[in-house]
Amino acid sequence: ALMLETESLYMQDNNRQMHVVTDPLFFVIDEKNNGVDLTDKGLDIISKHMEDPNFFVMPDIGAQLSELENENITAAEKQEKKDALLQEYAIKQERTHTVHQLLKAYTLFNNDEEYVVIDNKVKIVDEQTGRIMEGRRYSDGLHQAIEAKERVKVEAATQTFATITLQNYFRMYHKLAGMTGTAETEAGELWDIYKLDVVTIPTNKPVIRNDMNDRVYKTKREKYNAVIDEIAGIVEAGRPVLVGTTSVEISELLSRMLKLRKIEHNVLNAKLHQREAEIVAQAGQRGIVTIATNMAGRGTDIKLSDSVRAAGGLTIIGTERHESRRVDRQLRGRSGRQGDPGSSVFFVSLEDNLMRLFSSDRIAKVMDRLGFKEGEMIEHSMVSRSIEKAQRKVEENNFGIRKRLLEYDDVMNSQRELVYSKRHHALMGERIGLDIMNMMYDSAATMVENNLSSSDYDGLQESVLKTFAIEMPFSNDEMRGDKQLLIDKLYEAVIEAFNRKSENLATTAYPVIKQVYEQQGDRYDNIMVPVTDGKRFYNITCNLKEAYESGGKSINKAFQKTVLLYTIDDAWKEHLRDLDQLRQSVQAASYEQKDPLLIFKIESFGLFRDMLDSTNRKCVAILMRGSIPVREPEQLREALPEKRQDFSRYRTQKDSLSEQHEGAEAAGGADGSVGHTPLKVGPKIGRNDPCPCGSGKKYKSCHGRNENEI
């Protein structure tokens, strides 16, 4: 329903440079912040079918809560009303966010430009290369909004597991270098970000390509007609043509125009990228016309025949100036390689996106005063230099955006390094014991510090019981003593309890591990042990031989590793989501003449500190409660009539058959799935003995059928 309402707001004039859509005035496009805001008229239109006229209006939650505090009602009624207000606010916040994302999808993202629809799926197109970015999806519900707009299957929303900017990713290398034909224009940015100099290396053979001045037309229609005429003339001269476009839509438009002129050609864009090698291989043959986005032939030499060289070589025609000079130079560089002859020219109109940014209306008025007729153009070196100057300004602005993004990512980078180091230790098993001891000490110190100032002994006792599952190691009177002494006492009690519980875990598991290893050790490499903290089961996989030789102690390390990985990953995902929301919310600080980046640094540090404290507590709480659930034989016999009994104590696995499946189960067992409960093993049952379940069948035909899997 929201999507259909949004369609009624969508203007057919889909020009992205329009800042305000009027007649009627429905919404305002804010290109600087890449956002769309509903106006009063837009709210009226989108709410006309709703009973509540404020259906899409965010309430002033602060004022409402303040009024509620002044009402003369009971505490229970006040809390109930407060919960209702907060729930309504959360619902409206999500609803408004959905409308904004739909408006973005309809006004700022165009089919065959920012994305393409292939096989009933919306796929993002790389703005620089024109290639499809497989597996990439817009975040925060925007991709789902575009899928709803295009009437394709709406896929589930994705969540960010990890994030890093390319700049910080490249900085991780000890040595960094690169080679490209168009780095000279970006020398300043390469030095500012990476402290890398740019050295220009002369070409192997002199470049004799003829780079002509830009040809400026008043309208796009005149420009495209001139492009088609130019292509027809070049084909008659026996030269090949490579036409560069900025989007899939323009490449298909030119293709239709060439078909009307009955000029044979090839099209290479994000929808037809499978034929890239074949099309580029033919692009240098006599009379061949190739229409392509920025992806065509990057990093390759288009080979020319002798007759083509004699005719003047490959001609490059650009249908629009790109915002970046690098992309234009890449297009020119397809011609004139290795000393080959060639030429290049760009066709520009005053309606192009780049030209609209820099007083194109004033130039159009000058052309009208000078009496320019339809189809006439301006071609002068001064015009070309002016366009390059405009490109330079846009590049500087884009660099500023990238640098600001990097400053925000630098704040996250220190947090990322700390979390990844903890995760690496858990994954590799390095110093995992030391990390757990540090977590226990930090948790104990935080508890004491939080409750010591208020002398809240009961609160501290409750926290200790919830997290560590132990009794308080000191009395209420002792709490008035030295803070460091209290922390040390609590930490020592936690370590003692943890060592005791770890020993119990190994002792409980070892008898069955010993039996399985001695009787079936030649058949199984790994064993899976279910461990629970009282809330969920963790299927812990460990090496059978290692568990036997260590007396069951290796199970403790496997359990610790699984818990740390699960808890750290879950907390980091939530932290990334919180940082995304924080980054959006701090932008409003600029209206108060405050630096959003500074506020982001302060607030993100607080969030990170809370995340670490929560992660430490969760890990410690699970480890302190970890145990192997065991049922007594008497309990099992009572359950036999109602339920088929599982006689396995541990579920083992063959690496050759199911190691991959069981490994995934071990990593994902924390989702609440219950593993097989370990049972005490009685006397060995023969294959031809009656099954103990009472079915009257032989054991091999009843519960012994899947013995090889147990």
Please state, in angstroms and rounded to a whole number, the distance separating the CA atoms of residues 148 and 545. 54
Query: Quick one: tokens of 480?
Result: 């008035």
Evaluate if residue 101 carries a pLDDT over 90.
Answer: no
Residue 10: predicted pLDDT: 40
Mean pLDDT score, 105-134: 84
Residue 11: predicted pLDDT: 35
Mean pLDDT score, 217-224: 90
Evaluate if residue 318 carries a pLDDT over 90.
Answer: yes
Residue 310: predicted pLDDT: 92
Whether the CB-CB separation of 320 and 246 falls below 8 Å is answered with yes
- pLDDT category of residue 6 using cuts at 50, 70 and 90: very low
Listed residue (212, 247, 238, 241) closest to 227, CA to CA: 241
Looking at the chain, the whole-number percentage of residues with pLDDT higher than 90 is 20
Evaluate if residue 667 carries a pLDDT over 50.
Answer: no
Q: Tens of pLDDT along 416-454?
A: 988 998 888 888 877 888 889 999 999 999 888 888 777
Evaluate if residue 649 carries a pLDDT over 80.
Answer: no
Mapped onto helix, strand or coil, the DSSP state of residue 217 is strand
Looking at the chain, the whole-number percentage of residues with pLDDT higher than 70 is 79
Please state, in angstroms and rounded to a whole number, the distance separating the CA atoms of residues 418 and 408. 17
DSSP state of 679: B
Whether the CB-CB separation of 622 and 533 falls below 8 Å is answered with yes
Mean pLDDT score, 26-38: 47
Give 40: exposed, middle or buried? Use CB within 10 Å, 0-12, 13-18, 19+.
exposed
Backbone angles phi, psi at 583, to 5 degrees: -65, -35
Residue 498: predicted pLDDT: 92
Residue 692: predicted pLDDT: 65
DSSP state of 588: G
Token pair 């002398």 in the structure block, residue: 455
Please state, in angstroms and rounded to a whole number, the distance separating the CA atoms of residues 493 and 471. 9
Residue 658: predicted pLDDT: 36
Whether the CB-CB separation of 276 and 216 falls below 8 Å is answered with no
Query: Quick one: tokens of 640?
Result: 């036999």
Residue 634: predicted pLDDT: 44
Residue 567: predicted pLDDT: 92
Residue 682: predicted pLDDT: 42
Q: Tens of pLDDT along 150-192?
A: 989 888 777 667 778 888 899 889 999 988 888 888 888 899 8
Residue 166: predicted pLDDT: 87
Evaluate if residue 670 carries a pLDDT over 70.
Answer: no
Give 432: exposed, middle or buried? Use CB within 10 Å, 0-12, 13-18, 19+.
middle
Mean pLDDT score, 461-482: 85
Whether the CB-CB separation of 211 and 318 falls below 8 Å is answered with no
Evaluate if residue 296 carries a pLDDT over 80.
Answer: no
- pLDDT category of residue 661 using cuts at 50, 70 and 90: very low
DSSP state of 15: -
Evaluate if residue 635 carries a pLDDT over 50.
Answer: no
Evaluate if residue 317 carries a pLDDT over 90.
Answer: yes
Please state, in angstroms and rounded to a whole number, the distance separating the CA atoms of residues 384 and 393. 15
Listed residue (383, 492, 387) closest to 441, CA to CA: 492
Please state, in angstroms and rounded to a whole number, the distance separating the CA atoms of residues 412 and 401. 17
Please state which of the ranges 99-108, 204-213, 644-653 shows the lowest mean pLDDT: 644-653
Whether the CB-CB separation of 326 and 354 falls below 8 Å is answered with no
Evaluate if residue 30 carries a pLDDT over 60.
Answer: no
Q: Is the peptide bond before 596 cis (omega within 30 degrees of 0)?
A: no
Residue 311: predicted pLDDT: 92
pTM above 0.75, yes or no: no
DSSP state of 184: G
Output 523 or 160, whichever has higher pLDDT.
523
Mapped onto helix, strand or coil, the DSSP state of residue 224 is helix
- pLDDT category of residue 641 using cuts at 50, 70 and 90: very low
Please state, in angstroms and rounded to a whole number, the distance separating the CA atoms of residues 517 and 177. 54
Please state, in angstroms and rounded to a whole number, the distance separating the CA atoms of residues 627 and 552. 13
Q: List the end-to-end C-alpha distance of the chain, in Å, as a whole number.
A: 53
Please state, in angstroms and rounded to a whole number, the distance separating the CA atoms of residues 450 and 453. 7
Mean pLDDT score, 507-513: 87
Output 52 or 378, whichever has higher pLDDT.
378
Evaluate if residue 343 carries a pLDDT over 60.
Answer: yes
Please state, in angstroms and rounded to a whole number, the distance separating the CA atoms of residues 92 and 585. 17
List Cβ neighbours of 246 (8 Å cut-off, separation of 6 or more). 293, 294, 319, 320, 322
Output 292 or 691, whichever has higher pLDDT.
292
